[in-house]
Chains A and B, each alone.
Chain A
Amino acid sequence: MKMVFNRVLYAILLLCGIVILNFSLFFLSPGDPTNLYFGPKVKRQNLETLRHQMGVDQPWSKQFQEWGRHALKGDLGYSWAKHRPVRDILMEAIPATLQLTMLALLINLTAGCILGILTGVYSRKWFGKIIDYLSLSAYSVPIFLFAILFIYFFSLKLRLLPASGMSSLIAGDFGFWENLWDRIRHLILPVSILGLMGAAATSRFVQGHMKSVLRQDYIRLAFAKGLPKSRVYVSHAFKNALIPVVTLLGIYFPFLLGSALVVEVIFAWPGMGRVTYEAIFSKDYPVIMAVNLIAGLLVITGNLISDLLYRFIDPRIRVK
Protein backbone atom coordinates (compact mmCIF):
# COMPACT_ATOMS: atom_id res chain seq x y z
CA MET A 1 0.00 0.00 0.00
CA LYS A 2 2.81 2.29 0.81
CA MET A 3 4.22 1.55 -2.59
CA VAL A 4 1.03 2.61 -4.29
CA PHE A 5 1.03 5.84 -2.37
CA ASN A 6 4.60 6.48 -3.40
CA ARG A 7 3.82 6.03 -7.04
CA VAL A 8 0.84 8.33 -6.90
CA LEU A 9 2.86 10.98 -5.18
CA TYR A 10 5.52 10.68 -7.77
CA ALA A 11 2.95 10.98 -10.50
CA ILE A 12 1.63 14.22 -9.09
CA LEU A 13 5.15 15.53 -8.87
CA LEU A 14 5.68 14.75 -12.52
CA LEU A 15 2.54 16.58 -13.39
CA CYS A 16 3.74 19.70 -11.67
CA GLY A 17 6.96 19.35 -13.51
CA ILE A 18 5.12 19.30 -16.78
CA VAL A 19 3.21 22.41 -15.95
CA ILE A 20 6.39 24.23 -15.09
CA LEU A 21 7.99 23.01 -18.25
CA ASN A 22 5.11 24.24 -20.32
CA PHE A 23 5.12 27.61 -18.78
CA SER A 24 8.82 28.03 -19.23
CA LEU A 25 8.52 27.19 -22.87
CA PHE A 26 6.03 29.91 -23.36
CA PHE A 27 8.24 32.42 -21.77
CA LEU A 28 11.18 31.43 -23.80
CA SER A 29 9.39 31.93 -27.04
CA PRO A 30 10.01 35.02 -29.05
CA GLY A 31 7.27 37.26 -30.22
CA ASP A 32 4.32 38.72 -28.54
CA PRO A 33 0.92 37.12 -28.29
CA THR A 34 -0.71 40.35 -29.15
CA ASN A 35 0.62 40.11 -32.66
CA LEU A 36 -2.43 38.11 -33.46
CA TYR A 37 -4.79 40.88 -32.95
CA PHE A 38 -3.16 43.82 -34.43
CA GLY A 39 -1.11 44.69 -37.42
CA PRO A 40 2.20 46.50 -37.14
CA LYS A 41 0.68 49.91 -37.17
CA VAL A 42 -0.96 49.88 -33.82
CA LYS A 43 -1.15 52.53 -31.22
CA ARG A 44 1.08 51.77 -28.33
CA GLN A 45 -1.71 52.44 -25.90
CA ASN A 46 -3.99 49.83 -27.37
CA LEU A 47 -1.21 47.37 -27.28
CA GLU A 48 -0.61 48.01 -23.62
CA THR A 49 -4.27 47.68 -22.79
CA LEU A 50 -4.61 44.44 -24.54
CA ARG A 51 -1.50 43.09 -22.98
CA HIS A 52 -2.80 44.01 -19.61
CA GLN A 53 -6.08 42.36 -20.39
CA MET A 54 -4.43 39.23 -21.49
CA GLY A 55 -2.33 39.36 -18.42
CA VAL A 56 0.96 38.96 -20.23
CA ASP A 57 2.55 42.03 -18.80
CA GLN A 58 3.10 40.43 -15.45
CA PRO A 59 6.34 38.75 -14.45
CA TRP A 60 6.77 35.03 -14.94
CA SER A 61 6.16 33.84 -11.43
CA LYS A 62 3.04 35.87 -11.04
CA GLN A 63 1.51 34.58 -14.21
CA PHE A 64 2.38 31.10 -13.18
CA GLN A 65 0.74 31.50 -9.81
CA GLU A 66 -2.38 32.99 -11.35
CA TRP A 67 -2.68 30.23 -13.83
CA GLY A 68 -2.02 27.61 -11.22
CA ARG A 69 -4.64 28.94 -8.91
CA HIS A 70 -7.21 29.12 -11.61
CA ALA A 71 -6.36 25.72 -12.86
CA LEU A 72 -6.81 24.11 -9.48
CA LYS A 73 -10.25 25.56 -9.35
CA GLY A 74 -10.98 24.12 -12.73
CA ASP A 75 -10.69 27.30 -14.70
CA LEU A 76 -8.23 26.80 -17.48
CA GLY A 77 -8.37 30.19 -19.02
CA TYR A 78 -10.00 31.74 -21.98
CA SER A 79 -9.27 30.84 -25.54
CA TRP A 80 -7.84 33.77 -27.44
CA ALA A 81 -8.91 32.51 -30.80
CA LYS A 82 -12.26 31.03 -30.10
CA HIS A 83 -13.45 33.35 -27.40
CA ARG A 84 -14.75 30.61 -25.21
CA PRO A 85 -13.59 29.26 -21.91
CA VAL A 86 -10.92 26.69 -22.56
CA ARG A 87 -12.63 24.37 -20.22
CA ASP A 88 -15.72 24.15 -22.38
CA ILE A 89 -13.72 23.49 -25.46
CA LEU A 90 -11.92 20.68 -23.75
CA MET A 91 -15.02 19.17 -22.26
CA GLU A 92 -16.29 18.65 -25.75
CA ALA A 93 -13.06 17.53 -27.24
CA ILE A 94 -11.79 15.09 -24.68
CA PRO A 95 -14.62 12.56 -24.86
CA ALA A 96 -14.29 12.55 -28.61
CA THR A 97 -10.63 11.74 -28.41
CA LEU A 98 -11.19 9.18 -25.72
CA GLN A 99 -13.75 7.36 -27.82
CA LEU A 100 -11.28 7.15 -30.61
CA THR A 101 -8.25 6.18 -28.61
CA MET A 102 -9.83 3.74 -26.22
CA LEU A 103 -11.44 1.75 -28.98
CA ALA A 104 -8.23 1.84 -30.96
CA LEU A 105 -6.30 0.65 -27.94
CA LEU A 106 -8.68 -2.24 -27.56
CA ILE A 107 -8.19 -3.32 -31.13
CA ASN A 108 -4.50 -2.73 -30.83
CA LEU A 109 -4.01 -4.95 -27.83
CA THR A 110 -6.26 -7.79 -28.83
CA ALA A 111 -5.18 -8.01 -32.45
CA GLY A 112 -1.59 -7.35 -31.54
CA CYS A 113 -1.41 -10.07 -28.92
CA ILE A 114 -3.09 -12.63 -31.10
CA LEU A 115 -0.96 -11.86 -34.11
CA GLY A 116 2.17 -11.70 -32.03
CA ILE A 117 1.49 -15.09 -30.51
CA LEU A 118 0.73 -16.60 -33.87
CA THR A 119 3.89 -15.30 -35.46
CA GLY A 120 5.92 -16.34 -32.46
CA VAL A 121 4.63 -19.86 -32.40
CA TYR A 122 4.56 -20.45 -36.11
CA SER A 123 7.65 -18.44 -36.89
CA ARG A 124 9.00 -21.11 -39.17
CA LYS A 125 5.91 -22.00 -41.07
CA TRP A 126 5.03 -20.07 -44.15
CA PHE A 127 1.92 -18.39 -42.84
CA GLY A 128 3.77 -17.17 -39.81
CA LYS A 129 6.31 -15.53 -42.02
CA ILE A 130 3.66 -13.94 -44.16
CA ILE A 131 1.92 -12.38 -41.19
CA ASP A 132 5.29 -11.20 -40.00
CA TYR A 133 5.95 -9.44 -43.29
CA LEU A 134 2.52 -7.91 -43.29
CA SER A 135 2.91 -6.49 -39.87
CA LEU A 136 6.32 -5.15 -40.77
CA SER A 137 4.85 -3.40 -43.77
CA ALA A 138 2.02 -1.98 -41.72
CA TYR A 139 4.56 -0.72 -39.26
CA SER A 140 6.58 1.01 -41.95
CA VAL A 141 3.69 2.88 -43.47
CA PRO A 142 3.17 6.35 -42.10
CA ILE A 143 -0.20 6.80 -40.47
CA PHE A 144 -1.31 9.58 -42.69
CA LEU A 145 -0.64 7.62 -45.81
CA PHE A 146 -2.66 4.78 -44.45
CA ALA A 147 -5.40 7.17 -43.59
CA ILE A 148 -5.71 8.81 -46.96
CA LEU A 149 -5.49 5.51 -48.74
CA PHE A 150 -8.24 4.10 -46.61
CA ILE A 151 -10.36 7.14 -47.20
CA TYR A 152 -9.74 6.78 -50.88
CA PHE A 153 -10.84 3.20 -50.97
CA PHE A 154 -13.62 3.02 -48.53
CA SER A 155 -15.16 6.40 -48.89
CA LEU A 156 -14.58 7.52 -52.40
CA LYS A 157 -14.31 4.37 -54.39
CA LEU A 158 -16.54 2.03 -52.52
CA ARG A 159 -18.74 4.60 -50.91
CA LEU A 160 -19.06 2.49 -47.85
CA LEU A 161 -18.02 4.72 -45.03
CA PRO A 162 -18.02 8.43 -44.32
CA ALA A 163 -14.78 10.27 -44.77
CA SER A 164 -14.85 12.62 -41.87
CA GLY A 165 -16.62 14.01 -38.91
CA MET A 166 -18.17 12.35 -35.98
CA SER A 167 -21.70 12.22 -37.18
CA SER A 168 -23.69 13.02 -40.23
CA LEU A 169 -25.27 16.39 -40.70
CA ILE A 170 -28.78 15.16 -40.29
CA ALA A 171 -27.94 13.32 -37.12
CA GLY A 172 -30.22 15.56 -35.15
CA ASP A 173 -33.21 13.82 -36.66
CA PHE A 174 -32.09 10.32 -35.79
CA GLY A 175 -33.53 8.20 -33.10
CA PHE A 176 -31.23 6.50 -30.63
CA TRP A 177 -30.35 3.41 -32.60
CA GLU A 178 -29.85 5.23 -35.85
CA ASN A 179 -27.67 7.69 -34.06
CA LEU A 180 -25.61 4.89 -32.66
CA TRP A 181 -25.21 3.25 -36.02
CA ASP A 182 -24.27 6.52 -37.59
CA ARG A 183 -21.68 7.12 -34.94
CA ILE A 184 -20.26 3.67 -35.43
CA ARG A 185 -19.97 4.18 -39.15
CA HIS A 186 -18.00 7.31 -38.53
CA LEU A 187 -15.79 5.60 -36.06
CA ILE A 188 -14.82 2.60 -38.11
CA LEU A 189 -12.20 4.18 -40.34
CA PRO A 190 -10.21 6.24 -37.88
CA VAL A 191 -10.38 3.62 -35.18
CA SER A 192 -9.28 0.82 -37.45
CA ILE A 193 -6.35 2.83 -38.71
CA LEU A 194 -5.16 3.74 -35.25
CA GLY A 195 -5.84 0.25 -34.01
CA LEU A 196 -4.18 -1.62 -36.83
CA MET A 197 -1.03 0.45 -36.79
CA GLY A 198 -0.73 -0.08 -33.09
CA ALA A 199 -1.45 -3.75 -33.51
CA ALA A 200 1.47 -4.06 -35.88
CA ALA A 201 3.79 -2.62 -33.26
CA THR A 202 2.33 -4.73 -30.47
CA SER A 203 2.58 -7.90 -32.47
CA ARG A 204 6.26 -7.28 -33.12
CA PHE A 205 6.81 -6.88 -29.43
CA VAL A 206 4.81 -9.94 -28.45
CA GLN A 207 6.43 -12.01 -31.13
CA GLY A 208 9.89 -11.23 -29.82
CA HIS A 209 8.86 -12.19 -26.35
CA MET A 210 7.10 -15.32 -27.43
CA LYS A 211 10.16 -16.52 -29.26
CA SER A 212 12.36 -15.95 -26.27
CA VAL A 213 9.91 -17.69 -23.96
CA LEU A 214 9.78 -20.72 -26.20
CA ARG A 215 13.52 -21.13 -25.92
CA GLN A 216 13.38 -21.45 -22.16
CA ASP A 217 14.16 -24.55 -20.16
CA TYR A 218 10.79 -24.75 -18.51
CA ILE A 219 9.12 -25.10 -21.87
CA ARG A 220 11.39 -28.00 -22.66
CA LEU A 221 10.52 -29.54 -19.32
CA ALA A 222 6.86 -29.07 -20.04
CA PHE A 223 7.28 -31.14 -23.17
CA ALA A 224 9.37 -33.64 -21.23
CA LYS A 225 6.49 -34.07 -18.86
CA GLY A 226 4.47 -35.31 -21.75
CA LEU A 227 2.07 -32.40 -21.76
CA PRO A 228 0.19 -31.97 -25.00
CA LYS A 229 1.34 -29.14 -27.22
CA SER A 230 -1.78 -27.11 -26.64
CA ARG A 231 -1.36 -27.12 -22.94
CA VAL A 232 2.28 -26.22 -23.11
CA TYR A 233 1.50 -23.20 -25.21
CA VAL A 234 -1.59 -22.02 -23.45
CA SER A 235 -0.73 -22.54 -19.83
CA HIS A 236 2.98 -22.04 -19.90
CA ALA A 237 4.07 -20.01 -22.85
CA PHE A 238 1.29 -17.50 -23.24
CA LYS A 239 1.18 -16.30 -19.69
CA ASN A 240 4.86 -15.64 -19.64
CA ALA A 241 4.90 -13.91 -22.98
CA LEU A 242 1.91 -11.70 -22.38
CA ILE A 243 2.76 -10.27 -19.01
CA PRO A 244 5.15 -7.65 -20.38
CA VAL A 245 2.37 -6.36 -22.60
CA VAL A 246 1.05 -4.48 -19.61
CA THR A 247 4.17 -2.37 -19.61
CA LEU A 248 3.36 -1.47 -23.17
CA LEU A 249 0.29 0.35 -22.02
CA GLY A 250 2.39 2.94 -20.35
CA ILE A 251 4.62 3.43 -23.33
CA TYR A 252 1.74 3.55 -25.74
CA PHE A 253 -0.20 6.41 -24.30
CA PRO A 254 2.07 9.15 -25.61
CA PHE A 255 2.22 7.57 -29.02
CA LEU A 256 -1.47 7.00 -29.08
CA LEU A 257 -2.20 10.62 -28.37
CA GLY A 258 0.29 11.76 -30.93
CA SER A 259 -1.02 9.54 -33.67
CA ALA A 260 -4.53 10.48 -32.70
CA LEU A 261 -3.62 14.06 -33.42
CA VAL A 262 -2.70 13.26 -36.99
CA VAL A 263 -5.72 11.05 -37.51
CA GLU A 264 -8.05 13.63 -36.05
CA VAL A 265 -6.75 16.28 -38.35
CA ILE A 266 -7.20 14.11 -41.39
CA PHE A 267 -10.64 12.92 -40.45
CA ALA A 268 -11.80 16.24 -39.10
CA TRP A 269 -12.58 14.48 -35.89
CA PRO A 270 -13.47 17.05 -33.22
CA GLY A 271 -11.13 15.79 -30.58
CA MET A 272 -8.19 17.06 -28.59
CA GLY A 273 -5.73 16.67 -31.40
CA ARG A 274 -7.74 18.75 -33.76
CA VAL A 275 -8.21 21.41 -31.13
CA THR A 276 -4.48 21.52 -30.56
CA TYR A 277 -3.84 21.78 -34.26
CA GLU A 278 -6.08 24.74 -34.65
CA ALA A 279 -4.70 26.34 -31.54
CA ILE A 280 -1.21 26.12 -32.91
CA PHE A 281 -1.98 27.84 -36.10
CA SER A 282 -3.81 30.58 -34.29
CA LYS A 283 -1.17 30.77 -31.59
CA ASP A 284 -3.81 30.29 -28.95
CA TYR A 285 -1.62 29.85 -25.91
CA PRO A 286 -4.16 29.14 -23.19
CA VAL A 287 -5.60 26.31 -25.19
CA ILE A 288 -2.19 24.88 -25.89
CA MET A 289 -1.25 25.08 -22.24
CA ALA A 290 -4.39 23.36 -21.13
CA VAL A 291 -4.15 20.68 -23.75
CA ASN A 292 -0.59 19.90 -22.82
CA LEU A 293 -1.64 19.63 -19.24
CA ILE A 294 -4.39 17.20 -20.03
CA ALA A 295 -2.17 15.22 -22.32
CA GLY A 296 0.47 15.01 -19.65
CA LEU A 297 -2.17 13.96 -17.17
CA LEU A 298 -3.38 11.19 -19.41
CA VAL A 299 0.10 9.92 -20.06
CA ILE A 300 1.10 9.94 -16.44
CA THR A 301 -2.10 8.21 -15.45
CA GLY A 302 -1.58 5.63 -18.12
CA ASN A 303 1.93 5.00 -16.90
CA LEU A 304 0.77 4.76 -13.35
CA ILE A 305 -1.95 2.28 -14.16
CA SER A 306 0.33 0.10 -16.21
CA ASP A 307 3.00 0.19 -13.55
CA LEU A 308 0.63 -0.83 -10.79
CA LEU A 309 -1.03 -3.42 -12.95
CA TYR A 310 2.29 -4.97 -13.80
CA ARG A 311 3.31 -5.24 -10.20
CA PHE A 312 0.05 -6.89 -9.49
CA ILE A 313 0.14 -9.40 -12.28
CA ASP A 314 3.70 -10.63 -12.23
CA PRO A 315 4.08 -13.09 -9.38
CA ARG A 316 7.79 -12.51 -9.29
CA ILE A 317 7.14 -9.04 -8.02
CA ARG A 318 3.86 -9.56 -6.31
CA VAL A 319 4.91 -12.29 -3.97
CA LYS A 320 8.07 -11.49 -2.22
Chain B
Amino acid sequence: MVLGSMIILTILSPLITRYDPNAQVEPALSRYQSPSWEHWFGTDQFGRDVFSRVLFGGRISLIIAVSVVFLSVMIGVCYGAVSGYFGGLVDQILMRFVDLFLSFPVIFLVVTCMALFGSGISLLIVVLTLTGWLDIARLIRAEVNALKQRPFILKARAAGLRTLRIIGRHLIPNVVITMIAIAVIRVADIILIETALSFIGLGVQPPTASWGSVINDGRLVLTSAWWVTLFPGMAIILTTMSLYVIGDGIKALHH
Protein backbone atom coordinates (compact mmCIF):
# COMPACT_ATOMS: atom_id res chain seq x y z
CA MET B 1 0.00 0.00 0.00
CA VAL B 2 2.71 2.37 0.99
CA LEU B 3 4.51 1.34 -2.13
CA GLY B 4 1.54 2.30 -4.24
CA SER B 5 1.47 5.72 -2.74
CA MET B 6 5.14 6.17 -3.32
CA ILE B 7 4.46 5.71 -6.97
CA ILE B 8 1.80 8.33 -6.85
CA LEU B 9 4.17 10.69 -5.16
CA THR B 10 6.74 10.32 -7.86
CA ILE B 11 4.10 11.28 -10.33
CA LEU B 12 3.60 14.37 -8.29
CA SER B 13 7.15 15.56 -8.09
CA PRO B 14 7.25 16.73 -11.68
CA LEU B 15 4.54 19.07 -10.54
CA ILE B 16 6.86 20.66 -8.10
CA THR B 17 9.87 20.80 -10.27
CA ARG B 18 8.20 22.07 -13.39
CA TYR B 19 9.16 25.66 -13.56
CA ASP B 20 6.43 27.27 -15.52
CA PRO B 21 6.62 31.03 -15.29
CA ASN B 22 3.58 33.17 -15.83
CA ALA B 23 3.08 31.75 -19.24
CA GLN B 24 -0.43 32.13 -18.06
CA VAL B 25 -0.90 35.40 -19.78
CA GLU B 26 -1.98 34.69 -23.28
CA PRO B 27 -3.95 36.56 -25.88
CA ALA B 28 -7.62 36.87 -25.14
CA LEU B 29 -8.43 35.26 -28.44
CA SER B 30 -8.03 31.82 -27.09
CA ARG B 31 -10.64 31.98 -24.42
CA TYR B 32 -12.17 28.81 -23.11
CA GLN B 33 -10.66 26.38 -25.42
CA SER B 34 -11.32 22.78 -24.58
CA PRO B 35 -8.37 20.49 -24.02
CA SER B 36 -6.30 20.03 -27.12
CA TRP B 37 -2.79 19.17 -28.11
CA GLU B 38 -1.64 22.71 -27.71
CA HIS B 39 -3.31 23.24 -24.40
CA TRP B 40 -3.47 19.97 -22.57
CA PHE B 41 -5.94 21.15 -20.03
CA GLY B 42 -7.61 23.77 -22.10
CA THR B 43 -7.74 27.49 -21.39
CA ASP B 44 -9.66 29.63 -18.99
CA GLN B 45 -11.64 32.81 -19.29
CA PHE B 46 -8.58 34.90 -19.95
CA GLY B 47 -7.11 32.51 -22.41
CA ARG B 48 -4.50 31.30 -19.98
CA ASP B 49 -3.27 27.80 -20.33
CA VAL B 50 -4.93 25.79 -17.59
CA PHE B 51 -2.19 23.20 -17.56
CA SER B 52 0.52 25.62 -16.62
CA ARG B 53 -1.81 27.28 -14.15
CA VAL B 54 -2.42 23.98 -12.49
CA LEU B 55 1.28 23.24 -12.38
CA PHE B 56 2.21 26.64 -11.16
CA GLY B 57 -0.62 26.71 -8.71
CA GLY B 58 0.51 23.34 -7.49
CA ARG B 59 3.92 24.73 -6.89
CA ILE B 60 2.48 27.58 -4.86
CA SER B 61 0.12 25.43 -2.87
CA LEU B 62 2.81 22.93 -2.09
CA ILE B 63 5.33 25.58 -1.12
CA ILE B 64 2.84 27.17 1.20
CA ALA B 65 1.82 23.88 2.74
CA VAL B 66 5.34 22.62 3.21
CA SER B 67 6.63 25.84 4.73
CA VAL B 68 3.70 26.07 7.08
CA VAL B 69 4.14 22.51 8.20
CA PHE B 70 7.88 22.84 8.51
CA LEU B 71 7.59 25.89 10.73
CA SER B 72 4.69 24.52 12.75
CA VAL B 73 6.54 21.32 13.38
CA MET B 74 9.66 23.15 14.48
CA ILE B 75 7.76 25.27 16.92
CA GLY B 76 5.32 22.60 17.95
CA VAL B 77 7.91 19.96 18.67
CA CYS B 78 10.08 22.18 20.78
CA TYR B 79 7.14 23.56 22.67
CA GLY B 80 5.57 20.17 23.21
CA ALA B 81 8.82 18.49 24.16
CA VAL B 82 9.67 21.13 26.72
CA SER B 83 6.20 21.10 28.16
CA GLY B 84 5.99 17.35 28.28
CA TYR B 85 9.40 16.88 29.74
CA PHE B 86 9.22 19.39 32.52
CA GLY B 87 5.70 18.76 33.54
CA GLY B 88 4.40 20.50 36.58
CA LEU B 89 3.83 24.23 36.54
CA VAL B 90 5.67 24.87 33.30
CA ASP B 91 3.53 22.31 31.60
CA GLN B 92 0.34 23.78 33.00
CA ILE B 93 1.12 27.29 31.90
CA LEU B 94 2.28 26.33 28.44
CA MET B 95 -0.71 24.15 27.86
CA ARG B 96 -3.21 26.73 29.03
CA PHE B 97 -1.77 29.01 26.44
CA VAL B 98 -2.29 26.38 23.80
CA ASP B 99 -5.83 25.77 25.02
CA LEU B 100 -6.61 29.40 24.53
CA PHE B 101 -5.63 29.41 20.93
CA LEU B 102 -7.27 26.11 20.24
CA SER B 103 -10.58 27.41 21.51
CA PHE B 104 -10.89 29.35 18.38
CA PRO B 105 -12.12 28.07 15.10
CA VAL B 106 -8.98 28.15 13.08
CA ILE B 107 -10.60 29.45 10.00
CA PHE B 108 -12.19 32.34 11.80
CA LEU B 109 -8.86 33.37 13.14
CA VAL B 110 -7.23 33.07 9.77
CA VAL B 111 -10.01 34.94 8.15
CA THR B 112 -9.88 37.71 10.69
CA CYS B 113 -6.20 38.15 10.16
CA MET B 114 -6.59 38.20 6.44
CA ALA B 115 -9.18 40.90 6.86
CA LEU B 116 -7.08 43.02 9.08
CA PHE B 117 -3.70 42.68 7.60
CA GLY B 118 -4.46 42.43 3.95
CA SER B 119 -3.52 39.39 2.03
CA GLY B 120 -0.45 37.89 0.53
CA ILE B 121 1.38 34.67 0.51
CA SER B 122 3.81 35.39 3.29
CA LEU B 123 0.99 36.53 5.49
CA LEU B 124 -0.93 33.40 4.72
CA ILE B 125 2.02 31.32 5.72
CA VAL B 126 2.48 33.20 8.95
CA VAL B 127 -1.14 32.94 9.95
CA LEU B 128 -1.46 29.28 9.10
CA THR B 129 1.70 28.52 11.02
CA LEU B 130 0.54 30.42 14.05
CA THR B 131 -2.65 28.43 14.17
CA GLY B 132 -1.01 25.22 13.15
CA TRP B 133 1.64 24.48 15.70
CA LEU B 134 -0.87 24.06 18.48
CA ASP B 135 -2.06 20.55 18.12
CA ILE B 136 1.34 19.35 17.05
CA ALA B 137 2.55 20.64 20.37
CA ARG B 138 -0.17 18.73 22.12
CA LEU B 139 0.56 15.47 20.39
CA ILE B 140 4.28 15.73 20.95
CA ARG B 141 3.73 16.58 24.56
CA ALA B 142 1.69 13.41 25.01
CA GLU B 143 4.39 11.31 23.40
CA VAL B 144 7.13 12.89 25.43
CA ASN B 145 5.15 12.28 28.56
CA ALA B 146 4.94 8.63 27.72
CA LEU B 147 8.59 8.43 26.82
CA LYS B 148 9.69 10.25 29.93
CA GLN B 149 9.31 7.19 32.05
CA ARG B 150 11.20 4.85 29.84
CA PRO B 151 14.43 3.40 31.17
CA PHE B 152 16.73 4.98 28.67
CA ILE B 153 15.66 8.43 29.69
CA LEU B 154 16.06 7.62 33.35
CA LYS B 155 19.51 6.34 32.60
CA ALA B 156 20.42 9.57 30.89
CA ARG B 157 19.20 11.57 33.85
CA ALA B 158 20.99 9.34 36.27
CA ALA B 159 24.14 9.87 34.31
CA GLY B 160 23.70 13.55 34.96
CA LEU B 161 23.28 14.76 31.42
CA ARG B 162 22.15 18.31 31.09
CA THR B 163 18.50 18.81 30.42
CA LEU B 164 18.86 20.41 27.04
CA ARG B 165 21.04 17.59 25.92
CA ILE B 166 18.55 15.02 27.05
CA ILE B 167 15.77 16.67 25.17
CA GLY B 168 17.80 17.22 22.09
CA ARG B 169 19.75 14.03 21.70
CA HIS B 170 17.54 11.47 23.35
CA LEU B 171 13.93 12.48 23.39
CA ILE B 172 13.54 14.16 20.08
CA PRO B 173 15.07 11.47 17.90
CA ASN B 174 12.50 9.11 19.30
CA VAL B 175 9.57 11.22 18.37
CA VAL B 176 10.95 11.82 14.92
CA ILE B 177 8.99 9.08 13.26
CA THR B 178 5.69 10.21 14.72
CA MET B 179 6.69 13.72 13.77
CA ILE B 180 7.20 12.79 10.16
CA ALA B 181 3.88 11.00 10.01
CA ILE B 182 2.12 13.99 11.53
CA ALA B 183 3.94 16.37 9.21
CA VAL B 184 2.94 14.50 6.09
CA ILE B 185 -0.67 14.42 7.12
CA ARG B 186 -0.52 18.05 8.06
CA VAL B 187 0.71 19.04 4.63
CA ALA B 188 -2.39 17.48 3.17
CA ASP B 189 -4.58 19.29 5.68
CA ILE B 190 -2.97 22.62 4.94
CA ILE B 191 -3.39 22.14 1.24
CA LEU B 192 -7.08 21.62 1.83
CA ILE B 193 -7.36 24.71 3.99
CA GLU B 194 -5.31 26.93 1.71
CA THR B 195 -7.23 25.91 -1.38
CA ALA B 196 -10.49 26.55 0.43
CA LEU B 197 -9.31 30.01 1.37
CA SER B 198 -8.13 30.77 -2.12
CA PHE B 199 -11.42 29.56 -3.43
CA ILE B 200 -13.41 32.08 -1.47
CA GLY B 201 -10.94 34.79 -2.23
CA LEU B 202 -9.06 35.03 1.03
CA GLY B 203 -5.96 33.14 0.18
CA VAL B 204 -3.71 33.51 -2.76
CA GLN B 205 -4.81 36.51 -4.72
CA PRO B 206 -5.26 36.69 -8.47
CA PRO B 207 -3.64 36.75 -10.92
CA THR B 208 -1.41 34.26 -9.10
CA ALA B 209 -2.70 30.81 -9.53
CA SER B 210 -3.53 28.41 -6.77
CA TRP B 211 -5.53 25.28 -7.19
CA GLY B 212 -8.32 26.85 -5.19
CA SER B 213 -8.53 30.04 -7.19
CA VAL B 214 -8.45 28.19 -10.49
CA ILE B 215 -11.37 26.09 -9.34
CA ASN B 216 -13.17 29.23 -8.42
CA ASP B 217 -12.50 30.63 -11.86
CA GLY B 218 -14.17 27.66 -13.38
CA ARG B 219 -17.04 27.55 -10.99
CA LEU B 220 -19.54 29.49 -13.01
CA VAL B 221 -18.89 27.77 -16.27
CA LEU B 222 -18.93 24.27 -14.90
CA THR B 223 -21.38 23.06 -17.45
CA SER B 224 -19.50 24.33 -20.44
CA ALA B 225 -15.85 24.68 -19.58
CA TRP B 226 -15.61 21.82 -17.16
CA TRP B 227 -11.90 21.45 -17.66
CA VAL B 228 -11.06 24.53 -15.68
CA THR B 229 -12.46 23.00 -12.55
CA LEU B 230 -11.81 19.36 -13.09
CA PHE B 231 -8.06 19.32 -13.44
CA PRO B 232 -7.06 21.36 -10.43
CA GLY B 233 -9.69 19.44 -8.48
CA MET B 234 -8.17 16.14 -9.45
CA ALA B 235 -4.75 17.48 -8.66
CA ILE B 236 -5.84 18.34 -5.14
CA ILE B 237 -7.51 15.02 -4.58
CA LEU B 238 -4.58 13.00 -5.83
CA THR B 239 -2.08 14.96 -3.82
CA THR B 240 -3.97 14.88 -0.57
CA MET B 241 -4.92 11.25 -0.91
CA SER B 242 -1.41 10.09 -1.52
CA LEU B 243 -0.15 12.21 1.35
CA TYR B 244 -2.69 10.70 3.69
CA VAL B 245 -1.82 7.22 2.59
CA ILE B 246 1.86 7.85 3.08
CA GLY B 247 1.23 9.34 6.49
CA ASP B 248 -0.86 6.37 7.53
CA GLY B 249 1.75 4.03 6.19
CA ILE B 250 4.46 5.67 8.24
CA LYS B 251 2.30 5.45 11.33
CA ALA B 252 1.65 1.77 10.70
CA LEU B 253 5.34 1.07 10.24
CA HIS B 254 6.06 2.71 13.54
CA HIS B 255 3.94 0.21 15.37
The short answer to whether A and B are in direct contact, CB under 8 Å, is yes
Select one of A149, A277, A279, A300 contacting B103, CB under 8 A. Answer: A300
**Is the CB–CB distance between A25 and B237 below 8 Å?**
no
**Is the CB–CB distance between B114 and A257 below 8 Å?**
no
Q: Which residues of B contact A156 (CB under 8 A)?
A: 222-223
Is A194 in the interface zone, CB < 8 Å from B? no
**Is the CB–CB distance between B111 and A144 below 8 Å?**
no
**Is the CB–CB distance between B103 and A296 below 8 Å?**
yes
Of the stretches B31-39, B75-83, B169-177, B191-199, the one at the interface is B191-199
Give, as a whole number of angstroms, the nearest-CB distance from A99 to chain B: 18
The size bracket of the interface on A is 35 or more
Interface of B is mostly: helix
Q: Which residues of B contact A113 (CB under 8 A)?
A: none
Within 8 A of A (CB), among B11-57: none
Q: Which residues of A contact B245 (CB under 8 A)?
A: 136
Give, as a whole number of angstroms, the nearest-CB distance from A26 to chain B: 7
Is B219 in the interface zone, CB < 8 Å from A? yes
Q: Which residues of A contact B117 (CB under 8 A)?
A: 29-30
**Which of A22, A141, A148, A303 has the most C-beta atoms of chain B within 10 angstroms of its own C-beta?**
A148
**Is the CB–CB distance between A14 and B103 below 8 Å?**
yes
**Is the CB–CB distance between B215 and A255 below 8 Å?**
no
Is A21 in the interface zone, CB < 8 Å from B? yes
**Is the CB–CB distance between B105 and A253 below 8 Å?**
yes
**Is the CB–CB distance between B196 and A143 below 8 Å?**
yes
Q: Which residues of B contact A29 (CB under 8 A)?
A: 116-117
Of the stretches A117-125, A228-236, A287-295, the one at the interface is A287-295
Q: Which residues of B contact A281 (CB under 8 A)?
A: 115, 201
- The verdict on A140 contacting B241 (CB below 8 Å), with A257-B108, A292-B112 known, is yes
Q: Which residues of B contact A253 (CB under 8 A)?
A: 105
**Is the CB–CB distance between B112 and A25 below 8 Å?**
yes
Digitize B106-121: 1 where CB-to-A-CB distance is under 8 Å, 0 elsewhere: 1111011111111000
Is A139 in the interface zone, CB < 8 Å from B? yes
Within 8 A of A (CB), among B208-232: 212, 215, 219, 222-223, 229
Digitize A126-140: 1 where CB-to-B-CB distance is under 8 Å, 0 elsewhere: 000000000011011
**Is the CB–CB distance between B195 and A142 below 8 Å?**
yes
**Is the CB–CB distance between A257 and B196 below 8 Å?**
no
Is B244 in the interface zone, CB < 8 Å from A? yes
Is B73 in the interface zone, CB < 8 Å from A? no
**Is the CB–CB distance between B108 and A291 below 8 Å?**
yes
**Is the CB–CB distance between A292 and B108 below 8 Å?**
yes
**Is the CB–CB distance between B106 and A148 below 8 Å?**
no
Give complex CA distance A279, B233 in Å.
28
**Is the CB–CB distance between A140 and B108 below 8 Å?**
no
**Which of B113, B200, B212, B241 has the most C-beta atoms of chain A within 10 angstroms of its own C-beta?**
B200
Is A261 in the interface zone, CB < 8 Å from B? yes
Digitize B83-120: 1 where CB-to-A-CB distance is under 8 Å, 0 elsewhere: 00000000000000001101111111101111111100
Give, as a whole number of angstroms, the nearest-CB distance from A96 to chain B: 17
A262's nearest neighbour on chain B, judged by CB, is B196
Give, as a whole number of angstroms, the nearest-CB distance from B22 to chain A: 25
5 nearest interchain CB pairs?
A258-B107, A29-B116, A280-B115, A254-B105, A140-B240
What are 8 sample pairs from A and B whose C-beta atoms fall under 8 A apart?
Answer: A18-B103, A141-B236, A144-B195, A145-B215, A148-B215, A276-B111, A283-B115, A303-B103
